[in-house]
Amino acid sequence: MNNKEIKSSVRAGLVDEYYFSAKLAEIAAMRKKGIDVINLGIGSPDLPPPHNVIERLALSAADPHNHGYQSYNGIPSLRQAFSEWYQRYFRVNLDPDCEILPLIGSKEGIMHVSMAFINPGDEVLVPDPGYPAYTAAAKLSGGIVRTYDLTEDGGWLPDIQKIEREGTEKVRLMWMNYPHMPTGTRASEELFRELVSFARRNGILLCNDNPYSFILNDRHLSILSIEGAKETALELNSLSKSHNMAGWRVGMVGGAAGLIKYIIRVKSNMDSGMFLAVQAAAAEALASPEEWYHELNSVYRRRRVIAEEIMKTLSCTFNPDQTGLFLWGKIPAVYAGSVSMTDNLLYNNRVFITPGMVFGSNGNNYIRISLCATEEILSSALDRVRINNSGFNN
């Protein structure tokens, strides 16, 4: 008797396993063999959230009435907290009743937005380099990925005129991400005004993914602060980086009520709401005083100094004005590409650094160092890269 093979969907074949999923498995296998690898690749904050946030979580979780299903659009106090946070730091008014939707992490929002607005055959503008999830979500939603170049010569900013010259008739959605990951580039109000104008005249939905605005950055800017933006733009945000709550999975999408309602339609068919205690604690985190961000960034500044020394030791060049949770640098010409360099560092120096090619072809000659490691660990990595690679051969 011949058994029929179970085959995956065509959709599953459109995307590959996430790079970090496979690489972390490889690192785990190396460690299992006794090889000590320092991981400077992942942007997962290693510090805790404010202590009062943890206390609020425990207090709420202890209440026996707080363990049931929650509403699909989040508890009112969390939406209110997001609204006040946006007003205080971004000078943006968002109605907590209909213009804010809490998410189980902003990565979830990328998929929800794609499912809510992309039809099969629609083009989706995705930055290169950029977060790989934009491409994956577009493909899984039936869209056609169309990358737009971000280059060092262009200041890592989109060339709007070039995009328009190439045609926008089929473009439905444009992903953008400022402060930019992986390059750490800030946007300006002028750029956002140009993007809003471009989107309005071409009938394109802009979506700015904005989780890095508070890390080594004191110029908080939202696409929604631009006049007329709500007619054509959404913004994702997250507590993962700003409040060290990556594993808590708390994010949001903000925008006009008419756009948010379509996202709720998708989201309500995919989850049953966040645990109430997590939402209550997230509201507590959003009310943190400004000193919280200052103290957090003082830690990252000290770490950044060591990361810059690692870049210099590797003969990489970088822009010292970049922001965010990473340091982005251009590799020396002796390497064929970023994978060649980072694999050399992993296998010979026992240090994992992210190759820029993960983020697109324009990142192939760059590497990214995460600041999510203690000064001691970063210093150990610096010591290792200072040693000739041959000293670590198996």
Q: Is the distance from CB of 103 to CB of 252 less than 8 angstroms?
A: yes
- The pLDDT tens digits of the residues spanning 273-289 come to 999 999 999 999 999 99
Q: Is the pLDDT of residue 1 over 70?
A: no
What pLDDT is attached to residue 388?
57
Sign for the pseudo-dihedral over CA of 78, 79, 80, 85: positive
pTM of the model: 0.92
Which tens digits make up the pLDDT trace of 66-90?
999 899 999 999 999 999 999 999 9
If one compares 7 and 126, the residue with the highest pLDDT of the two is 126
Q: Shortest CA distance to 282 belongs to which of 252, 255, 324, 325?
A: 252
pLDDT in tens, 289-307: 999 999 999 999 999 999 9
Task: Please identify which residue in the block is written with the tokens 């000659």.
Answer: 365
- Ordered by where they begin, the domains of the chain are 12-48+291-389 (3.90.1150.10), 65-286 (3.40.640.10)
Residue 36, pLDDT > 80, answer: yes
Longest CA–CA separation in the chain, Å:
70
Let me know the angle formed at the C-alpha of 14 by 8 and 20, rounded to the nearest 5 degrees.
100
What band does 14 get if pLDDT is binned at 50, 70 and 90?
confident
Pairwise CA distance, residues 242 & 258, whole Å: 28
- Interatomic CA distance for residues 122 and 141, integer angstroms: 10
Residue 170, CA distances (Å) to 24, 125, 129, 259, 383 in order: 38, 10, 22, 20, 51
Taking the C-alpha atoms of residue 179 and residue 214, their distance in angstroms, rounded to an integer, is 9
Whether omega for the bond prior to residue 158 falls within 30 degrees of 0, making it cis, is no
What's the rounded Cα separation, in Å, for the pair 125 and 55? Answer: 42
Q: Give pLDDT, residue 19.
A: 75
DSSP assignment letter at 317: B
SS3 of 59, please? helix
| pLDDT for residue 391 is more than 50 | no
Separation between Cα atoms, residue 275 and residue 67, nearest integer Å: 7
pLDDT of residue 389: 46
Least confident interval from 15-29, 70-84, 112-126, 313-327: 15-29
The mean pLDDT of 25-51, rounded to a whole number, is: 92
pLDDT for the residue numbered 393: 36
Edge-to-edge strands, sheet with 366-370: 326-330, 366-370, 354-355
